[in-house]
Structure 1
Amino acid sequence: MASSGGSSGDSIFTKKTPILGLKLYVLIAATIAVVLVVFALYFLFIRHRSCKRRRVGVKHRSGFLPLVCKEISEVNEPNQRQTTKNVSEKNSVFVVDDVAAIELESKKRSSESKESSTTSSSALSSSTDSLGSFGWGRWYSLTELQTATNQFSGDNVIGEGGYGIVYRGVLHDGSVVAVKNLLNNKGQAEKEFKVEVEAIGKVKHKNLVGLIGYCAEGAQRLLVYEYIDNGNLEQWLHGDVGPVSPLTWEIRMKIAIGTAKGLAYLHEGLEPKVVHRDVKSSNILLDRKWNAKVSDFGLAKLLGSEKSHVTTRVMGTFGYVSPDYASTGMLNEGSDVYSFGVLLMEIITGRSPVDYSKPPGEMNLVDWFKGKVASRRGEELVDPLIDVPPPPRALKRILLVCLRCIDMDANKRPKMGQIVHMLEADEFPYRAVSIVLLMLCLSTYS
C-alpha cells in the first residue's frame, strides 16, 4: 500500500498537464520563478523611482533655493548691518547699506525678464513676488512704476519737496501706492534712498507710513509707499477749508495723539532708535478717519542705545528746529520732541510756525504762544475756525504739554511716550496745571 501511495504521488507530479504538455512539478517551478522575477522587477522599479526623485530634488535645490539664500545673505552680510529691531513685534528688519548690490540684483532680474518667454516671464514674476517677502521690500522695475504713474505724469503728482516728487500710482493688480522719485542732486538720491530704508525698512506701525518696496536702476532711485488718501495736516490747517474747519478739537487731538505714538515708537520701540529730524505738518498724512501717519524719513538718523546724541549737519525745516540742535548740531530724540511741541501749537492755533504776514510780535509762533500763556490769555490761542472750543481744563492740559515740549533745556523735555500719556489723560488736577503753567511762564520770562 505504501508503494502504491508513493507511485500514486509520483504520478500526480509527473503527470503531464494540459498547459503546453508540461508536467505539474515543472509548471509549479516555473510559476514560482515568474513570481520571484516580478517581485524583483517591482523592487528595482521602486528603487529607481526613489533615486530619480532624490536627483530631481537636488536639481531643484541647486536651481532655485540658492537664489533665495544668496539674496538673504546679501541683505544680512556682516558689512550690511542689521540696524533695526522691532521690539513690540516679532519681525526683524534688515537693511542694505550697499545699494550697488540692489542695482546688481535689479539688472539681473531685468535681463532675465527680457530673455524669458511669456510663460517663463510669468514664472519669474511669481518667483520675484515670493522673494519680495524676504529682506525689507519688494523689488519693482522702472517700467512697472512708469506704467503705474502714467510715465510720471504731472497729473499724478501728490507731493513735492526738496528731495523728490511723490506720485500717485496704480499697480497692475489694482492697488494704489505713492511713488517717491528721488532727485539725484549731488548724490542726494542715493543718500536718502539708504536713509529711508535704514530708518523704516519693514517697520510696521499704524501711525507710520509703510514702505512697500523700491526701485534702483541706473541712477534712478524710487521708493514705493502705502497710499494715504486724505492729504496732509498742513493742507487741512492752512488750506481753504471754509469758515468752519472740519478739524474739530477732538479730531485735532486724535491727530496729535497718533503723531505722538508714531514718534514714540521710533524713539522707544526700536533699536537703534530713529530720530526723524523733520517733524512738521506737511509730513503728517491723514486717512479718511483722521488717523495720523508720520511720513518722509529722508532726514532721519539712527541713534544706538549706547549714544546720547549724534553730531551732524543741522537739517530740518525753519520754525520747527530746536534751538539747541540748531546751535550745536547735537541731535537726539529731544530735537523731535521740540518739533512736536511746535506742531502741537500749530494744531491748536491753526497758525504756521513762521508767518511773515502777521504783525511783528506774532510772526514767530513760539514767541506769540508763550506771550499769550504768560498773560493768562490761553483761550485766545485756539484756532478761530474751530466751531466748538475745547473745555478750559482740556485746553490748559494741552498748553502745558506744548510748553514742556519746547523747554529750552533739552534734558527737561518729556519723552514721547510720556507725551502720549499726557495727551490721553482725561483729567489733570486743575490747580496743579495752573500752578505748573504759571511757574513755567515765570521761569521763561525771568
Structure 2
Amino acid sequence: MQRRDFLFSSLAAAGAAAALNPARAAGRERVRIALIGTGMRGQVLLQELVRRDDVEVAALCDIDPFMLNRALGQVAKAGKPKPRTVGEDGDAQAWRKLLDASKIDGVIIATPWELHAQMAIAAMEAKVTVGCEVVAGVTLQDHWDVLNTQLKTGTPYMLLENVCYRRDVMAVLQMVRAGLFGELVHMQGGYQHDLRAVKFNAGVPGKAYGGGVEFGPKGWSEARWRTEHSVRRNGELYPSHGIGPCAMYANIHRGNRFTHINAFATKARGLHGYVEAQGGKSHPNAAVKFALGDVVTTTLACENGETIILQHDTSLPRPYSLGFRVQGTKGLWMDVNKSLHVEGISPPHQWEPFQPYQDKFEHPLWKKYAATAASAGHGGMDFFVIHSFIEALKASAPMPIDIFDAVAWSAITPLSEQSIASGFKTLEFPDFTGGLWKTRKPIFAFDDRY
C-alpha cells in the first residue's frame, strides 16, 4: 500500500472510532413537544417534528394567525392530530400557557431573538426541556441569566445550531479528531449571506423575501423584527453558524476556552444603498441610519493558543458562504474552494479536492441518515439538529450543544458590540463554565444515533 493511501485509511478509521459513543441511557420512546414561533424558521423545524413517529406535536403558539394556520396545515398534511394552539388572539404572553411539564416534555423556541432568553428561562423554571433557535440572548446579562437558570433548575437546554451538522463540517470534525491536520492552530468561519431581501419586503403576508423596502411594523416575517437590530446595533450579530463548528473542532469548554475577543466594523453602506435602489431616495426608509457595519470582523483567542476569526457580512451583494478554514501543523481545509492540503499526503504546495476526503471520513450519522435527511431544510442539517435534540431528550442524555456552548457562542454578539463601541478594544472573554472547562470531556462526538 502506498504511504498516502495507508495514512489516509488509518486516519479515517481513527476518526470513525473517535465518533462512536454507545453508552446512552435508556429512556422514553415518545416525547411531547410544543413549538413557540411558527414563522418561516419555525415551520422548517415543525416539518422535521411531524415526520417523526416518536414526537407528538402537542401545542403551537404564534400571534400571527396567518403563520399559525400554515403550521396547522403542515400538521394536518402529515396526518398527525391537531395540536392545541394559543396566541391567535394576539396575546404576546400566550406562550406562557404552554409551559406545563405535565403536558409537554420539551419546547422549541423559534421566535425573534429578543424573546429567546425570557422564554427559555420560563421554560426551564417550569422544568420543560428547551431547544432554542440560535441567539441565546441579546445582552450579556441575558446570557448570564439563561446560564444561571439552567444551572439552578437542571433543566436541559440545547442551542439548535444546525451548521454543526453540515455534511462537510462533520466530516472535518472526523478529520480533526483523527489528527489529519495535526495540532490545530487557526480557524475561520462566519455568516456571509446577502440578507437585504430578508430585511426588507413589502409587508405582504406570505411574501417574506423582497418586493419592497419596508421593515418594522410595516414589514412582514423577519423584516418585522430582524432589521431593527441592524438599525441600532453594531457587532457580530449572528455568530453561532461560524463559531459552532470551530468551537467543536477546538474542544471549547472541554479542555479549552475562549480567553479574549475584539471586533472591528466597516462603514455602513449596503442597507442604505439597497433602500435607495429599490424604493427611491424619497422613500422614508432612505433616511434611516443603520448602525451595523457592512462587514464585521471578530477575533477570538483560545486558552490552548488557537485563534479564530469570524466575519459577519449580510448587507452587501455576495453569494452565500460561511467561509470555513481549519488549519493545523500538518495542513488545512477551506470550504470556499472545497479543497484541502495535508503535508505528506497531498502533492507539495498543491490543493486536493475535498470530496474524496469527505467520502473517506463521512460521519456515522450521515452514513446512517443521509437518505432520511435528503428532504430536510438547509441540505439536511435541520433533520440532524432536531434528531439530536429529540434523541437526547428521549434518553435523558446530555445535550450535544449544551448550555455552556449556547451562552458562550451567543455572547460573542454583545461582547463584539462592546469592543467596537470602545474603539475596537480587546476584552477578556467570560468563563461561563467557572473553571469546569479544564476537566470536562468532549461530548460532541456523536454516535450513529445522535
Provide TM-score, normalisation by structure 2: 0.22
Higher helix fraction: Structure 1 or Structure 2?
Answer: 1
Choose between structure 1 and 2 for higher RCO, CA contacts under 8 A separated by at least 6 residues.
2
State which structure, 1 or 2, has the greater radius of gyration over its C-alpha atoms. 1
